[in-house]
Amino acid sequence: MSEWNRRDFLRTVSAAIASSVCTRAAERKPNIIIVLADDLGYADVGFQGAKDIPTPNLDRLAASGVRFTSGYVSHPFCSPTRAGLMTGRYQQRFGHENNPKYDPSDAVSGLPVSETTIAQVLRDGGYATGHIGKWHLGAAPHHHPLKRGFSESFGFLGGGHDYFKAQMTPDAKEYVIPIQRDGKPVEEKEYLTDAFSREACAFVRRHAGDPFLLYLAYNAPHTPQQSSEKYLDRFAHITDQKRKLCAAMTSAVDDGVGRLVSTLRELKLESDTLLFFLSDNGGPLHDVNGTRNDPLRGAKGQVYEGGIRVPFIVRWPGRLAAGKTYDRPVISLDIFPTAAAAAGVNLAPALQEKLDGVNLLPHLLGKSSSPPHERLFWRTGGGVLFAVRENRFKLVRIRGASPQLFDLETDIAESNDLAPSRPDLVAKMSANLEAWNRQLIPPLFESPVPPANRAARVSER
Protein backbone atom coordinates (compact mmCIF):
# COMPACT_ATOMS: atom_id res chain seq x y z
CA MET A 1 0.00 0.00 0.00
CA SER A 2 1.41 3.39 -1.00
CA GLU A 3 2.03 6.06 1.64
CA TRP A 4 -0.83 8.13 0.19
CA ASN A 5 -3.23 5.17 0.26
CA ARG A 6 -2.16 4.27 3.79
CA ARG A 7 -2.82 7.82 5.03
CA ASP A 8 -6.14 7.89 3.20
CA PHE A 9 -7.09 4.54 4.71
CA LEU A 10 -6.19 5.71 8.23
CA ARG A 11 -8.16 8.93 7.77
CA THR A 12 -11.16 6.94 6.63
CA VAL A 13 -10.93 4.55 9.58
CA SER A 14 -10.46 7.43 12.05
CA ALA A 15 -13.45 9.26 10.61
CA ALA A 16 -15.58 6.14 10.88
CA ILE A 17 -14.54 5.60 14.51
CA ALA A 18 -15.21 9.24 15.38
CA SER A 19 -18.58 9.06 13.67
CA SER A 20 -19.44 5.91 15.60
CA VAL A 21 -18.40 7.47 18.92
CA CYS A 22 -20.43 10.62 18.21
CA THR A 23 -23.43 8.54 17.22
CA ARG A 24 -23.21 6.51 20.42
CA ALA A 25 -22.84 9.69 22.47
CA ALA A 26 -25.81 11.26 20.72
CA GLU A 27 -27.86 8.11 21.26
CA ARG A 28 -26.92 7.71 24.90
CA LYS A 29 -30.01 7.97 27.02
CA PRO A 30 -29.77 10.37 29.97
CA ASN A 31 -29.77 9.17 33.53
CA ILE A 32 -32.79 10.25 35.57
CA ILE A 33 -32.51 11.09 39.27
CA ILE A 34 -35.47 12.08 41.45
CA VAL A 35 -34.50 13.33 44.92
CA LEU A 36 -37.48 13.70 47.22
CA ALA A 37 -37.25 15.31 50.66
CA ASP A 38 -39.92 14.59 53.27
CA ASP A 39 -41.82 17.44 54.96
CA LEU A 40 -39.26 20.05 53.92
CA GLY A 41 -40.44 23.58 54.64
CA TYR A 42 -40.86 26.00 51.74
CA ALA A 43 -38.47 28.47 53.40
CA ASP A 44 -35.97 25.97 54.82
CA VAL A 45 -33.35 25.98 52.08
CA GLY A 46 -31.05 28.78 51.01
CA PHE A 47 -32.33 29.08 47.45
CA GLN A 48 -35.78 29.72 48.94
CA GLY A 49 -34.49 32.40 51.29
CA ALA A 50 -33.51 30.51 54.45
CA LYS A 51 -30.93 32.42 56.49
CA ASP A 52 -30.48 30.10 59.47
CA ILE A 53 -30.12 26.81 57.55
CA PRO A 54 -27.23 26.92 55.06
CA THR A 55 -27.79 24.53 52.16
CA PRO A 56 -24.81 25.19 49.88
CA ASN A 57 -25.20 22.04 47.80
CA LEU A 58 -28.88 22.56 47.09
CA ASP A 59 -28.18 26.22 46.37
CA ARG A 60 -25.56 25.21 43.78
CA LEU A 61 -28.06 22.77 42.31
CA ALA A 62 -30.57 25.60 41.90
CA ALA A 63 -27.91 27.93 40.50
CA SER A 64 -26.95 25.38 37.86
CA GLY A 65 -30.51 24.38 37.01
CA VAL A 66 -34.04 25.75 36.77
CA ARG A 67 -36.00 26.68 39.89
CA PHE A 68 -39.77 26.45 39.71
CA THR A 69 -41.23 29.36 41.67
CA SER A 70 -44.72 27.87 41.34
CA GLY A 71 -43.76 24.24 41.81
CA TYR A 72 -46.48 22.08 43.31
CA VAL A 73 -47.09 18.54 44.46
CA SER A 74 -50.39 16.78 43.81
CA HIS A 75 -51.32 16.30 47.48
CA PRO A 76 -50.57 17.97 50.81
CA PHE A 77 -49.28 14.84 52.54
CA CYS A 78 -46.96 11.90 52.06
CA SER A 79 -48.19 8.80 50.29
CA PRO A 80 -50.69 10.26 47.80
CA THR A 81 -48.03 12.65 46.49
CA ARG A 82 -45.69 9.70 45.95
CA ALA A 83 -48.42 7.78 44.13
CA GLY A 84 -48.96 10.74 41.81
CA LEU A 85 -45.25 11.19 41.21
CA MET A 86 -44.77 7.49 40.37
CA THR A 87 -47.69 7.39 37.93
CA GLY A 88 -47.93 10.90 36.46
CA ARG A 89 -51.64 10.85 37.29
CA TYR A 90 -53.84 12.51 39.86
CA GLN A 91 -53.84 9.78 42.47
CA GLN A 92 -57.52 10.38 43.26
CA ARG A 93 -58.32 8.86 39.88
CA PHE A 94 -57.34 5.44 41.23
CA GLY A 95 -58.31 5.90 44.88
CA HIS A 96 -54.91 6.54 46.45
CA GLU A 97 -56.02 9.54 48.49
CA ASN A 98 -54.84 8.56 51.96
CA ASN A 99 -51.76 7.14 53.63
CA PRO A 100 -51.70 3.32 53.63
CA LYS A 101 -51.31 1.58 56.96
CA TYR A 102 -48.20 -0.50 57.46
CA ASP A 103 -49.60 -4.02 57.18
CA PRO A 104 -47.93 -6.61 54.92
CA SER A 105 -51.16 -8.62 54.93
CA ASP A 106 -53.26 -5.72 53.61
CA ALA A 107 -53.62 -6.28 49.87
CA VAL A 108 -55.51 -3.03 49.22
CA SER A 109 -53.67 -0.27 51.07
CA GLY A 110 -51.07 0.89 48.58
CA LEU A 111 -50.49 1.94 45.00
CA PRO A 112 -52.88 -0.19 42.90
CA VAL A 113 -51.09 -2.70 40.70
CA SER A 114 -53.29 -1.56 37.82
CA GLU A 115 -51.20 1.62 37.62
CA THR A 116 -48.01 1.90 35.57
CA THR A 117 -45.01 3.51 37.27
CA ILE A 118 -42.18 5.54 35.76
CA ALA A 119 -39.83 2.80 36.97
CA GLN A 120 -41.68 0.19 34.90
CA VAL A 121 -41.59 2.39 31.82
CA LEU A 122 -37.87 3.14 32.08
CA ARG A 123 -36.94 -0.41 33.07
CA ASP A 124 -38.70 -1.65 29.94
CA GLY A 125 -36.78 1.02 28.04
CA GLY A 126 -33.44 -0.46 29.07
CA TYR A 127 -32.78 1.48 32.28
CA ALA A 128 -31.34 0.19 35.52
CA THR A 129 -33.85 1.29 38.17
CA GLY A 130 -33.11 1.89 41.83
CA HIS A 131 -35.24 2.90 44.81
CA ILE A 132 -33.49 4.18 47.91
CA GLY A 133 -35.17 5.44 51.08
CA LYS A 134 -38.82 5.77 52.02
CA TRP A 135 -41.46 3.87 50.01
CA HIS A 136 -44.86 4.38 51.70
CA LEU A 137 -46.81 2.96 48.76
CA GLY A 138 -47.95 -0.24 50.43
CA ALA A 139 -46.36 -2.98 52.53
CA ALA A 140 -47.89 -6.08 50.90
CA PRO A 141 -45.52 -8.15 48.72
CA HIS A 142 -47.16 -7.05 45.47
CA HIS A 143 -46.69 -3.39 46.46
CA HIS A 144 -42.94 -3.78 47.02
CA PRO A 145 -40.63 -1.57 44.92
CA LEU A 146 -39.17 -4.67 43.28
CA LYS A 147 -42.66 -5.48 42.01
CA ARG A 148 -43.31 -1.95 40.75
CA GLY A 149 -40.48 -1.55 38.29
CA PHE A 150 -37.38 -1.16 40.43
CA SER A 151 -34.56 -3.61 39.89
CA GLU A 152 -32.85 -2.61 43.15
CA SER A 153 -34.23 -1.32 46.44
CA PHE A 154 -32.73 -0.17 49.73
CA GLY A 155 -34.86 1.41 52.44
CA PHE A 156 -38.08 0.89 54.32
CA LEU A 157 -41.67 0.32 53.29
CA GLY A 158 -43.58 2.39 55.86
CA GLY A 159 -44.36 6.06 56.34
CA GLY A 160 -41.42 6.91 58.59
CA HIS A 161 -38.49 5.41 60.45
CA ASP A 162 -36.22 5.88 63.42
CA TYR A 163 -32.91 7.29 62.18
CA PHE A 164 -30.70 5.20 64.46
CA LYS A 165 -32.36 1.91 65.29
CA ALA A 166 -34.41 -0.94 63.91
CA GLN A 167 -35.69 -4.17 65.37
CA MET A 168 -34.63 -7.25 63.45
CA THR A 169 -37.84 -9.11 64.26
CA PRO A 170 -40.85 -10.01 62.08
CA ASP A 171 -43.27 -8.26 64.48
CA ALA A 172 -41.44 -4.90 64.54
CA LYS A 173 -43.63 -1.81 64.47
CA GLU A 174 -43.65 0.56 61.51
CA TYR A 175 -40.99 3.03 62.60
CA VAL A 176 -38.48 0.38 63.67
CA ILE A 177 -38.99 -2.24 60.96
CA PRO A 178 -35.75 -3.61 59.50
CA ILE A 179 -34.16 -1.74 56.65
CA GLN A 180 -34.37 -3.88 53.51
CA ARG A 181 -31.97 -4.46 50.70
CA ASP A 182 -33.76 -6.01 47.74
CA GLY A 183 -36.51 -7.29 49.99
CA LYS A 184 -34.26 -8.84 52.64
CA PRO A 185 -33.64 -7.31 56.09
CA VAL A 186 -30.20 -5.88 56.76
CA GLU A 187 -28.67 -4.32 59.84
CA GLU A 188 -27.89 -0.64 59.24
CA LYS A 189 -25.61 1.15 61.71
CA GLU A 190 -25.13 4.51 60.00
CA TYR A 191 -27.36 7.55 60.56
CA LEU A 192 -30.19 6.78 58.17
CA THR A 193 -29.97 9.90 56.01
CA ASP A 194 -26.25 9.31 55.52
CA ALA A 195 -26.92 5.65 54.74
CA PHE A 196 -29.33 6.62 51.98
CA SER A 197 -26.78 9.05 50.53
CA ARG A 198 -24.12 6.34 50.65
CA GLU A 199 -26.36 3.89 48.84
CA ALA A 200 -27.32 6.46 46.20
CA CYS A 201 -23.68 7.08 45.33
CA ALA A 202 -23.00 3.34 45.24
CA PHE A 203 -25.92 2.80 42.86
CA VAL A 204 -24.57 5.46 40.51
CA ARG A 205 -21.13 3.85 40.54
CA ARG A 206 -22.56 0.42 39.81
CA HIS A 207 -24.49 1.70 36.81
CA ALA A 208 -22.16 4.39 35.50
CA GLY A 209 -21.95 2.67 32.13
CA ASP A 210 -25.68 2.30 31.60
CA PRO A 211 -28.62 4.68 31.74
CA PHE A 212 -30.30 4.55 35.12
CA LEU A 213 -33.28 5.84 37.07
CA LEU A 214 -32.53 6.61 40.70
CA TYR A 215 -35.40 7.44 43.04
CA LEU A 216 -33.78 8.76 46.22
CA ALA A 217 -36.56 9.37 48.74
CA TYR A 218 -35.13 10.75 51.97
CA ASN A 219 -37.36 10.59 55.05
CA ALA A 220 -35.74 13.74 56.45
CA PRO A 221 -36.73 16.09 57.94
CA HIS A 222 -39.87 14.04 58.75
CA THR A 223 -40.30 13.06 62.39
CA PRO A 224 -38.94 11.58 64.58
CA GLN A 225 -36.60 14.51 64.94
CA GLN A 226 -33.19 12.87 65.27
CA SER A 227 -29.74 13.87 64.14
CA SER A 228 -26.15 12.84 64.59
CA GLU A 229 -23.85 15.21 66.46
CA LYS A 230 -22.05 15.98 63.20
CA TYR A 231 -25.03 17.97 62.00
CA LEU A 232 -26.27 19.25 65.34
CA ASP A 233 -22.88 20.85 65.99
CA ARG A 234 -23.42 23.09 62.97
CA PHE A 235 -26.43 24.72 64.63
CA ALA A 236 -25.40 25.23 68.22
CA HIS A 237 -26.55 28.86 67.90
CA ILE A 238 -30.21 27.91 67.35
CA THR A 239 -31.98 27.84 70.71
CA ASP A 240 -35.36 26.54 69.50
CA GLN A 241 -34.80 22.79 69.84
CA LYS A 242 -37.27 21.78 67.12
CA ARG A 243 -35.80 24.31 64.72
CA LYS A 244 -32.29 23.16 65.58
CA LEU A 245 -33.14 19.54 64.81
CA CYS A 246 -34.94 20.57 61.63
CA ALA A 247 -31.83 22.46 60.54
CA ALA A 248 -29.54 19.54 61.33
CA MET A 249 -31.71 17.03 59.45
CA THR A 250 -32.02 19.35 56.46
CA SER A 251 -28.26 19.86 56.47
CA ALA A 252 -27.81 16.09 56.27
CA VAL A 253 -29.98 16.00 53.14
CA ASP A 254 -27.94 18.87 51.69
CA ASP A 255 -24.71 16.98 52.34
CA GLY A 256 -26.18 13.90 50.70
CA VAL A 257 -27.17 15.78 47.56
CA GLY A 258 -23.67 17.22 47.46
CA ARG A 259 -22.14 13.73 47.66
CA LEU A 260 -24.42 12.53 44.88
CA VAL A 261 -23.57 15.40 42.54
CA SER A 262 -19.86 14.99 43.31
CA THR A 263 -20.13 11.32 42.33
CA LEU A 264 -21.77 12.28 39.04
CA ARG A 265 -19.00 14.79 38.41
CA GLU A 266 -16.25 12.31 39.23
CA LEU A 267 -17.75 9.79 36.81
CA LYS A 268 -18.31 12.49 34.15
CA LEU A 269 -22.05 11.89 34.23
CA GLU A 270 -23.31 15.37 35.09
CA SER A 271 -24.20 16.40 31.56
CA ASP A 272 -25.86 13.03 31.00
CA THR A 273 -28.14 13.33 34.02
CA LEU A 274 -31.56 14.92 34.36
CA LEU A 275 -32.06 15.56 38.06
CA PHE A 276 -35.18 16.66 39.95
CA PHE A 277 -35.26 17.85 43.56
CA LEU A 278 -38.44 18.59 45.50
CA SER A 279 -40.32 17.93 48.73
CA ASP A 280 -43.32 15.62 49.03
CA ASN A 281 -45.42 18.38 50.61
CA GLY A 282 -45.05 21.57 52.58
CA GLY A 283 -43.60 21.60 56.06
CA PRO A 284 -45.90 20.75 58.98
CA LEU A 285 -46.94 23.48 61.37
CA HIS A 286 -43.87 24.88 63.13
CA ASP A 287 -44.65 23.21 66.46
CA VAL A 288 -44.46 19.76 64.83
CA ASN A 289 -40.90 19.73 63.51
CA GLY A 290 -39.73 23.34 63.36
CA THR A 291 -40.21 23.85 59.62
CA ARG A 292 -41.20 27.17 58.06
CA ASN A 293 -43.25 27.85 54.96
CA ASP A 294 -42.82 31.64 54.83
CA PRO A 295 -44.35 33.57 53.15
CA LEU A 296 -47.00 30.99 52.41
CA ARG A 297 -50.20 30.35 54.32
CA GLY A 298 -50.85 26.93 55.80
CA ALA A 299 -48.87 23.73 56.18
CA LYS A 300 -48.79 20.01 55.49
CA GLY A 301 -52.28 18.55 55.26
CA GLN A 302 -53.82 21.75 53.92
CA VAL A 303 -54.52 22.93 50.38
CA TYR A 304 -53.36 26.46 51.09
CA GLU A 305 -50.02 27.16 49.42
CA GLY A 306 -48.03 26.09 52.47
CA GLY A 307 -49.25 22.53 52.06
CA ILE A 308 -48.74 22.05 48.33
CA ARG A 309 -46.19 24.57 46.97
CA VAL A 310 -42.69 23.21 47.52
CA PRO A 311 -39.01 23.83 46.75
CA PHE A 312 -38.63 22.35 43.26
CA ILE A 313 -35.56 22.22 40.97
CA VAL A 314 -34.76 20.53 37.67
CA ARG A 315 -31.19 20.35 36.38
CA TRP A 316 -29.70 19.02 33.15
CA PRO A 317 -26.32 20.66 32.46
CA GLY A 318 -25.78 21.59 28.86
CA ARG A 319 -29.43 21.05 27.98
CA LEU A 320 -31.36 23.33 30.33
CA ALA A 321 -30.28 26.89 31.02
CA ALA A 322 -28.51 27.36 34.33
CA GLY A 323 -29.63 29.76 37.03
CA LYS A 324 -33.07 30.37 35.58
CA THR A 325 -36.46 30.53 37.23
CA TYR A 326 -39.67 29.29 35.67
CA ASP A 327 -42.73 31.03 37.06
CA ARG A 328 -45.64 29.21 35.47
CA PRO A 329 -47.29 26.50 37.59
CA VAL A 330 -45.86 23.01 37.30
CA ILE A 331 -46.61 19.92 39.36
CA SER A 332 -44.85 16.75 40.47
CA LEU A 333 -47.06 14.78 38.05
CA ASP A 334 -44.94 16.32 35.27
CA ILE A 335 -41.84 14.35 36.28
CA PHE A 336 -43.12 11.10 34.72
CA PRO A 337 -43.74 12.40 31.18
CA THR A 338 -40.68 14.67 31.28
CA ALA A 339 -38.41 11.80 32.27
CA ALA A 340 -39.97 9.49 29.68
CA ALA A 341 -39.50 12.10 26.95
CA ALA A 342 -35.89 12.73 27.94
CA ALA A 343 -35.25 9.00 27.86
CA GLY A 344 -36.75 8.70 24.40
CA VAL A 345 -39.31 6.17 25.60
CA ASN A 346 -42.39 5.87 23.45
CA LEU A 347 -45.35 5.58 25.77
CA ALA A 348 -48.26 3.41 24.70
CA PRO A 349 -51.09 5.65 23.45
CA ALA A 350 -53.45 4.34 26.14
CA LEU A 351 -50.95 5.28 28.86
CA GLN A 352 -50.13 8.63 27.26
CA GLU A 353 -53.80 9.58 27.23
CA LYS A 354 -54.17 8.75 30.92
CA LEU A 355 -51.36 11.01 32.11
CA ASP A 356 -52.22 14.27 33.85
CA GLY A 357 -48.61 15.43 33.91
CA VAL A 358 -47.01 17.01 30.86
CA ASN A 359 -43.55 16.94 29.32
CA LEU A 360 -41.89 20.13 30.58
CA LEU A 361 -38.92 20.06 28.20
CA PRO A 362 -40.54 22.08 25.36
CA HIS A 363 -41.54 24.74 27.89
CA LEU A 364 -38.10 24.87 29.51
CA LEU A 365 -36.28 24.87 26.18
CA GLY A 366 -38.35 27.73 24.78
CA LYS A 367 -40.05 25.58 22.18
CA SER A 368 -43.50 26.22 23.66
CA SER A 369 -44.74 29.59 24.87
CA SER A 370 -47.98 28.25 26.32
CA PRO A 371 -48.29 27.38 30.01
CA PRO A 372 -47.82 23.68 30.78
CA HIS A 373 -51.23 23.52 32.51
CA GLU A 374 -54.45 25.41 32.04
CA ARG A 375 -55.34 24.56 35.64
CA LEU A 376 -54.18 22.39 38.54
CA PHE A 377 -56.40 20.59 41.06
CA TRP A 378 -56.27 19.20 44.60
CA ARG A 379 -58.63 17.08 46.71
CA THR A 380 -58.11 15.42 50.08
CA GLY A 381 -60.13 13.08 52.25
CA GLY A 382 -62.58 12.25 49.47
CA GLY A 383 -63.78 15.83 49.47
CA VAL A 384 -62.85 17.45 52.78
CA LEU A 385 -60.61 19.99 51.07
CA PHE A 386 -60.46 21.15 47.46
CA ALA A 387 -58.41 23.66 45.51
CA VAL A 388 -57.95 24.68 41.90
CA ARG A 389 -55.42 27.08 40.42
CA GLU A 390 -56.11 28.76 37.07
CA ASN A 391 -53.39 31.15 35.94
CA ARG A 392 -52.96 33.66 38.77
CA PHE A 393 -56.13 32.77 40.68
CA LYS A 394 -56.73 30.01 43.18
CA LEU A 395 -60.00 28.79 44.66
CA VAL A 396 -60.03 26.98 48.01
CA ARG A 397 -63.03 25.01 49.24
CA ILE A 398 -63.26 23.58 52.74
CA ARG A 399 -66.20 21.38 53.63
CA GLY A 400 -68.73 23.42 55.61
CA ALA A 401 -67.19 26.79 54.72
CA SER A 402 -67.66 29.36 51.98
CA PRO A 403 -65.27 29.22 48.99
CA GLN A 404 -62.21 31.45 49.12
CA LEU A 405 -60.56 33.09 46.13
CA PHE A 406 -57.01 34.44 46.00
CA ASP A 407 -54.87 36.25 43.46
CA LEU A 408 -51.51 34.53 43.90
CA GLU A 409 -49.70 37.01 41.72
CA THR A 410 -50.30 39.81 44.21
CA ASP A 411 -51.14 37.77 47.33
CA ILE A 412 -48.94 34.70 47.65
CA ALA A 413 -49.82 34.57 51.36
CA GLU A 414 -53.52 34.06 50.54
CA SER A 415 -54.52 36.78 52.98
CA ASN A 416 -57.10 38.66 50.91
CA ASP A 417 -60.23 36.67 50.04
CA LEU A 418 -61.65 37.98 46.75
CA ALA A 419 -64.63 35.63 46.66
CA PRO A 420 -67.22 38.21 47.81
CA SER A 421 -66.20 40.63 45.06
CA ARG A 422 -65.71 38.07 42.25
CA PRO A 423 -68.72 35.71 42.32
CA ASP A 424 -68.40 35.23 38.56
CA LEU A 425 -64.88 33.85 38.87
CA VAL A 426 -65.83 31.73 41.88
CA ALA A 427 -68.67 30.17 39.87
CA LYS A 428 -66.46 29.50 36.84
CA MET A 429 -63.64 27.94 38.83
CA SER A 430 -66.08 25.95 40.96
CA ALA A 431 -67.62 24.48 37.81
CA ASN A 432 -64.19 23.44 36.54
CA LEU A 433 -63.39 21.92 39.91
CA GLU A 434 -66.63 19.94 39.95
CA ALA A 435 -66.04 18.69 36.41
CA TRP A 436 -62.66 17.35 37.51
CA ASN A 437 -64.08 15.90 40.72
CA ARG A 438 -66.62 13.86 38.75
CA GLN A 439 -63.73 12.03 37.08
CA LEU A 440 -62.40 10.76 40.42
CA ILE A 441 -63.30 7.77 42.59
CA PRO A 442 -63.69 7.54 46.38
CA PRO A 443 -60.60 6.62 48.41
CA LEU A 444 -59.82 2.89 48.34
CA PHE A 445 -58.48 2.93 51.91
CA GLU A 446 -58.35 5.23 54.90
CA SER A 447 -55.29 6.61 56.64
CA PRO A 448 -54.51 4.69 59.85
CA VAL A 449 -54.05 8.03 61.62
CA PRO A 450 -55.62 11.19 60.18
CA PRO A 451 -52.82 13.39 58.80
CA ALA A 452 -51.95 16.07 61.31
CA ASN A 453 -53.33 19.54 60.69
CA ARG A 454 -55.56 18.46 57.80
CA ALA A 455 -59.01 19.48 58.99
CA ALA A 456 -58.81 20.59 62.58
CA ARG A 457 -56.51 23.53 61.83
CA VAL A 458 -57.18 24.23 58.18
CA SER A 459 -57.36 27.98 58.61
CA GLU A 460 -54.06 28.36 60.44
CA ARG A 461 -51.48 30.55 58.75
Per-residue pLDDT tens over the stretch 335-388: 999 999 999 999 999 999 999 999 999 999 999 999 999 999 999 999 999 999
Do 254 and 180 lie in one domain? The reply is yes
345 lies in the same domain as 293: yes
**How many whole angstroms separate alpha carbon 393 and alpha carbon 418?**
10
Instruction: Report yes or no on 370 lying in a domain.
Output: no
Among candidate residues 305, 330, 364, the one where a domain is terminated: 364
> Do 260 and 396 share a domain, yes or no?
no
Same domain, 345 and 398: no
pLDDT per residue over 64-75, tens digit each? 999 999 999 999
Give the pLDDT of residue 373.
98
The answer to the question of residue 175 being in a domain is yes
Shared domain check, 420 and 317:
no
Q: In this structure, is residue 452 part of a structural domain?
A: no
Question: Are 98 and 181 members of one domain?
Answer: yes
Within this chain, do residues 125 and 253 fall inside the same structural domain, yes or no? yes
Q: Please, what is the average pLDDT of the chain?
A: 93
Tell me the per-residue pLDDT of 109-155, one tens digit each, with 9 for 90 and over: 999 999 999 999 999 999 999 999 999 999 999 999 999 999 999 99
Residues 354 and 304 in one domain: yes
Given the residues 75, 78, 246, 363, the one annotated as active site:
78
Number of separate domains in the chain: 2
Domain that holds residue 284: 29-364
223 in any annotated domain: yes
Query: Looking at the predicted structure, is the pLDDT value of residue 264 above 80?
Result: yes
Q: Is residue 217, in this structure, part of any structural domain at all?
A: yes
427 and 325 together in one domain: no
pLDDT tens digit sequence for 198-231: 999 999 999 999 999 999 999 999 999 999 999 9
Q: Is residue 298 located within the same domain as residue 391?
A: no
Picking from 339, 364, 389, the residue at the C-terminal end of a domain is 364
Instruction: Report the CATH number at residue 147.
Output: 3.40.720.10
* Within-domain flag for 447: no
Amino acid at 17: I
136 noted as active-site residue: yes
Catalytic residue (choose from 75, 136, 161, 207):
136
Decide if 234 is inside a domain: yes
Per-residue pLDDT tens over the stretch 9-38: 444 434 443 333 333 444 689 999 999 999
Residue whose C-alpha is closest to residue 59's, from 297, 258, 201, 284: 258
Q: Is 95 inside any structural domain?
A: yes
- Is 142 one of the catalytic residues? no
Q: Are residues 353 and 396 in the same domain?
A: no
